[in-house]
Amino acid sequence: MLRFRSIFLLILIPILGSCAPPADSFKVAVATFSHETCTFCPGGDVTVADWEQVSPPIGGDALLSGGGYIGGFVAAAQDYGDMELVGLSSPMGVFGGSSRSWNTEETFEHFLDLMIQDLQASLPVDGVFLALHGAMAVRNVPRPEAEIARRFREVVGPDVPIVASFDLHGNEDGEFLEWADFAFTTKRYPHYDAALQGQRAARALHMTMEGTYNPTTASRKPGIITATVLQWTGTSPSMDIMERARRWEARETDAFVSVFYGYPWSDVPDVGATIHVMTNNDQELADRIADDMNDFFWRVREDFALGQYPLPDEAAGLVGQAVAAGATPVAVGDHSDRPGDATHILRAFERSGLERVLYGAITDPMALDALESAGAQAGDAFDMEIGGFTPSGGSPFRIQGTLAYFDEGFSYDKVAVVEFGEGNVVIISPTYTQVTDPGRFGFLPMGLDQFDVFVVKSRVHFRRGFDETGFAKTIVVVEAPGPFVGTTYLDALPYEYVDLSVLYPFGTPPDRR
């Protein structure tokens, strides 16, 4: 009997041990504070309540069960088997997303304090992973992500490695890597590789914690600023820039090359393109890679930074030709509309007589409130002006038709679906809504096969579900008829903290004159 009991214990001990990290495991703090801030967008500064309207801060297992960067990081950490992860209380998103303006300093400090308090309670830790964006803008805090890293560094000390993941639209310079050890950006836009960058961050952090990697970094600013619609990695030279980074990583063992294209609608001093290089204790190699990437970026600047798109009336003609030729569905990207209320395309398409068009969506919380107050129901007649309430939105456009749906949609409590004209439908949403996949229209009371044209408020991300899946036979990206926020006319924006005269294509950097 004793022999069988011993065998049972030998079997049981490994099973029990697998339920907890090994005694010599690495303890890693994980947090996120991510916002792509459009400082020129209307609506006022972002408060704590604006963040908590989406969700209260979450930490622990709830944070670690997320997807994207954190999902990739957690999956890789689990593969190593010796990383104990601690999720710090983190804000999860702002109502309105990237259509929201400046974060107040008080808001920034509130959520950063929550993370720092959790971090202090979790000490000691062997490493830190931060899932950031790079284009957050905060009143009186010029470089928020660098400030986050600095505050974490104050707590963990000089020897604990800090690694972060970023969106390629981030605005960064060399200051972030003065406080952190690694920065990993997505290399694809649309961002298919967020989880992959989280996995790479876990690998770099693990090597550093085990003592086989000594992070040595180099940063460069090419001096280029671009509208995000020009940053699609599905075409050259954007794809060539990212491929060059990947080639360096393939050629040089343990070299990591991150490229930020920048986010021009954040009025911050580190706006524009950035290159971060991390090597294993090899400063000469880090500088050589950074210089090469910087020079290559500059060589292809004209094709990268200059682009033109049809205005709404011309776009209506192009869409009409595609429909006549049977090259449908047509996906139309209303690339510049940050608030989501612009009616330029709706007006032009109606004027041209286009039929079977789905407009998804037009922002108009006032229209939704009016419908709610009137007790509106599906089947009611609809006659109302919608959209056009911000300077970039044009003017309100009158829609006469039938309310086909008034209920939940796009994760909002209420959206309105209005049928009008010859097979046309417009969705009215409470805030900016970027539809990246036809599946998001699943709440509609009608099938998608009744539409020839899909108009969405998106620059590049809509290619994920409409273009790169083969759903749409024709893609048309449309420019706005004015130098509004979101357009390629960046020189019309009232920057306070950015000098366009030293950024291509509006000027020349001092070191390139």
Name the H helices within 123-256: 144-156, 176-179, 194-209, 238-251
Q: How far apart, in Å, do the first and last CA atoms of the chain sit?
A: 87
What pLDDT, on a 0 to 100 scale, did the predictor assign at position 350? 98
Using CB atoms within 10 Å of the CB of residue 10, give its burial: 0 to 12 exposed, 13 to 18 middle, 19+ buried. exposed
Q: What angle do CA 449, 452, 457 make, to 5 degrees?
A: 105
**Domains of the chain, each with CATH number or no CATH:** 19-305 (3.40.50.2300), 312-487 (no CATH)
The model's confidence at residue 74, banded by pLDDT at 50, 70 and 90, is very high
* Mean pLDDT score, 243-249: 98
Counting every residue, how long is the chain?
Answer: 513
The pLDDT > 70 percentage for the chain reads 96
What pLDDT, on a 0 to 100 scale, did the predictor assign at position 199? 98
The model's confidence at residue 127, banded by pLDDT at 50, 70 and 90, is very high
Residues 376-412 pLDDT 10s: 999 999 999 999 999 899 999 999 999 999 999 999 9
Residues 313-367 pLDDT 10s: 999 999 999 999 999 999 999 999 988 999 999 999 999 999 999 999 999 999 9
The model's confidence at residue 513, banded by pLDDT at 50, 70 and 90, is confident
129 token code pair: 């992973």
- Which residues are within 8 A (CB) of 407 and not within 5 positions of it... i.e. 6 or more apart? 414, 415, 443
Q: How far is the C-alpha of 367 from the C-alpha of 497, rounded, in Å?
A: 36
What pLDDT, on a 0 to 100 scale, did the predictor assign at position 97? 81
What pLDDT, on a 0 to 100 scale, did the predictor assign at position 10? 38
What pLDDT, on a 0 to 100 scale, did the predictor assign at position 22? 61
* Mean pLDDT score, 447-453: 98
* Residue 14, pLDDT above cutoff 70: no
Q: Is 270 in contact with 277 (CB distance < 8 Å)? A: no
pTM, rounded to two decimals: 0.90
What pLDDT, on a 0 to 100 scale, did the predictor assign at position 307? 87
Which of these, 85, 16, 92, 25, lies nearest to 54 by C-alpha position?
92
Tell me the average pLDDT of the chain.
94
- Strands of 310-457, DSSP E: 330-334, 357-363, 381-386, 397-409, 412-420, 424-429, 453-456
Q: Is 90 in contact with 57 (CB distance < 8 Å)? A: yes
The model's confidence at residue 192, banded by pLDDT at 50, 70 and 90, is very high
